[in-house]
């Protein structure tokens, strides 16, 4: 078995038919075979060119046919993919999250979208300058500022929030788990004008259709202090989860707003 097929075998054993990022392959093959990053990136290109790997997105690959009901994720609307590449090229530390990452789970795409970008403290205004030609951008806005801008803007709205650290993302995109947490929090706390009913639809669709890492979901929710709330919604969704995800459930008005939407049959 030559070195390329040996590496391909390891990728298939680790990821099966799930999509994976190039950075994940770099870590895996570096650990298993001692490959340097440049070697792995060249290998991925050659395997994709030969048809042994399928390139399903920017820096995203798959070694087999997708499993039923699984979306290739995370993926972004075209406008945000352009924004992601621009910000990466400019060296900005950022993470696109919330609705943009979860748009595959939306029932109906809105005429104008609201996007969330979390950036390191001090980078918000730079992000706004870079994206201002294509989007209406607000940095650390109040709820009133977001509502006013969304009502009058003709372009998609980007809300940039600055944080001292970022977690749960890769190559400028939040994981599905992190994006679900951020969508739930921003919607139920009315930090963005995103209908709670639609947030409920998206959350339920992701719970039922995405291959979620519940440990990662719980960690992201814990960091925002809402892990008990997410567990209550999981219980209402009626899906199989690890036993620890059924404990320490918290019901409050934010949870009830989502559960009420789920009870209406969405």
Nearest alpha-carbon partner for 161 in 190, 113, 135, 124: 124
pLDDT bracket for residue 127 (50, 70, 90): very high
pLDDT tens digits for range 255-264:
888 887 666 6
Residues in Cβ contact with 180 at an 8 Å cutoff, skipping those fewer than 6 apart: 102, 202, 203, 206, 217, 220, 230
CATH of the domain spanning 3-62: 1.10.10.10
Tell me what the pLDDT averaged over the chain comes to: 86
Residues with Cβ < 8 Å from 214, sequence gap 6 or more? 241, 242, 245
Three-class DSSP category at 116: strand
Lowest mean pLDDT segment, chosen from 11-25, 115-129, 150-164, 187-201: 11-25
Report pLDDT for 69.
Answer: 40
Q: Taking the model in full, what pTM does it have?
A: 0.70
Range with the lowest mean pLDDT among 42-56, 59-73, 181-195? 59-73
Domain ranges in the chain?
3-62, 78-263
Alpha carbons 24 and 29: distance in angstroms, whole number: 9
Whether residue 226 is preceded by a cis peptide bond, meaning omega within 30 degrees of 0, is no
């Amino acid at each position: 078995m030559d070195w390329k097929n040996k590496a391909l075998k390891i990728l298939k054993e680790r990821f099966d038919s799930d999509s994976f990022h190039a950075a994940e392959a770099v870590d895996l093959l570096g650990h298993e075979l001692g490959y340097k990053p440049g070697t792995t990136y060249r290998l991925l290109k050659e395997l994709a060119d030969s048809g042994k790997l399928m390139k399903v997105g920017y820096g995203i690959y798959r070694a087999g046919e997708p499993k039923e009901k699984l979306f290739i994720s995370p993926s972004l609307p075209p406008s945000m993919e352009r924004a992601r590449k621009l910000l990466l090229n400019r060296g900005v530390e950022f993470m696109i999250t919330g609705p943009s990452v979860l748009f595959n789970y939306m029932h109906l795409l809105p005429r104008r979208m609201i996007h969330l970008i979390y950036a390191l403290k001090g980078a918000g205004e730079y992000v706004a300058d870079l994206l201002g030609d294509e989007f209406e951008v607000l940095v650390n806005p109040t709820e009133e500022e977001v509502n006013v801008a969304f009502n009058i803007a003709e372009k998609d709205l980007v809300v940039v929030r600055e944080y001292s650290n970022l977690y749960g993302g890769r190559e400028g995109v939040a994981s599905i788990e992190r994006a679900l947490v951020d969508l739930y929090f921003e919607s139920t706390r009315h930090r963005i004008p995103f209908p709670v009913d639609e947030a409920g639809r998206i959350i339920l669709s992701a719970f039922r259709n995405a291959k979620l890492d519940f440990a990662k979901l719980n960690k992201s929710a814990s960091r925002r202090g809402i892990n008990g709330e997410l567990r209550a919604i999981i219980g209402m969704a009626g899906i199989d989860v690890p036993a620890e995800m059924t404990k320490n459930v918290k019901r409050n008005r934010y949870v009830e707003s989502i559960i009420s939407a789920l009870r209406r049959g969405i």
